[in-house]
Structure 1
Amino acid sequence: MKAPTGRRRAVTKALTALLPLAPYADMEKIRADAGSVHMKTLPPTIAVWLATVAHIRHAYTDYEKLLAEGYDRDSARFFVIEQTNVVLTRWRATRLLDADDEDD
C-alpha cells in the first residue's frame, strides 16, 4: 500500500471497524487493494468496502465461474450476493450487500 501515513491509518481503522473477525491474510489483501492508486480519491470507508466486496467476490464465491460460463458482470454479481453476505456475516461485518444497491 503506497499511500500517505494518514491515509493508511484511516484505511486500517475503517477495515478494523468493518470486519472485526476477518482473517489476517484477507485483511492484508483488502488493505492493499483499498490503498491502491485507483481508490485514492475515495473516502477510506468506501475504498475499504469496495475492496472487501471485490476480494470476497473473487476469492470466496462462484463469481469467476459465472463469468467463465458467459454471465455478464452484473448478473454474476447478483447471483453471488448471498455467498458474499455469508462471508461478511462470518467476519462479523457491520454491513451486508443489498440486491438493490447499484454501487456494489
Structure 2
Amino acid sequence: MKRASTARRRAVDKALTLLLPWVPFADAEAIRAHVDDRKLRTLPPAIAVWLATISHVRHVHTQYDALLDEGYERDAARHFVVDEINAVLTRWRATRLLDPEVDDIGDDA
C-alpha cells in the first residue's frame, strides 16, 4: 500500500480530530489506515475521513455484518444500523452524524 505524504497525513489527522475529538486511539488508527486505501486516497482529507469513519463504525461497532450474514440486503442492513452508528459517533463527540436521508455511503469506501 502506498503511504500518504506527510502533508496528507497531517491533513487527515486534523480532519479526524475535528470530526471525532473523543475517538479511541485504536479506532483512530484503524480509520487512518482506511484513509490510505486507494479508493479514498484521491479524495479530500475531510471526505476520506468521513467515509472511512462510517465504514469502520459500521463494520466494527454495529450488527451490520451479522445482518448481512442473516440474509438482509445491504440497504436494509444499513438502515437498521444507522442509530447504532450515530450512537458511536455521539460517544466520540462527532461534529457530524449519519443522516440516512442524505448520506448514501456504501461499502466501497
TM tier relative to shorter chain: over 0.9
Aligned twin of 1:99:
100
Q: Structure 1 regions of 5+ residues with no counterpart?
A: none
What's the CA shift string for 1:18-46, capped at 9, x where partnerless? 00001000000001101222111111001
Greater fraction helix? 1
1:71-91 deviation line (CA, Å, top 9, x unaligned): 111111111000000000000
How far apart, CA to CA, are the structure 1 residues paired with 2:44 and 2:59?
23
Q: Which runs of 5+ in 2 are unaligned?
A: none
Match of 1:52 in 2: 53
1:34 maps to 35
Matched positions, count: 104
User: Kindly tell me: are residues 9 and 21 of structure 1, through their superposed partners in 2, closer, same or farther at Cα, counting changes over 3 Å?
Assistant: same
Counterpart mapping for 1:6-85 below 5 A: 6-85=7-86
Query: How much does 1:103 deviate?
Result: 2.2
Q: What's the % identity of the aligned pairs?
A: 60
Partner amino acid, structure 2, of 1:20: P
Work out the CA distance in 2 between the residues paired with 1:101 and 1:65.
Answer: 25
Q: How far is 1:102 from its partner?
A: 4.0
Aligned-partner Cα distance in 2 for 1:13–1:71: 36
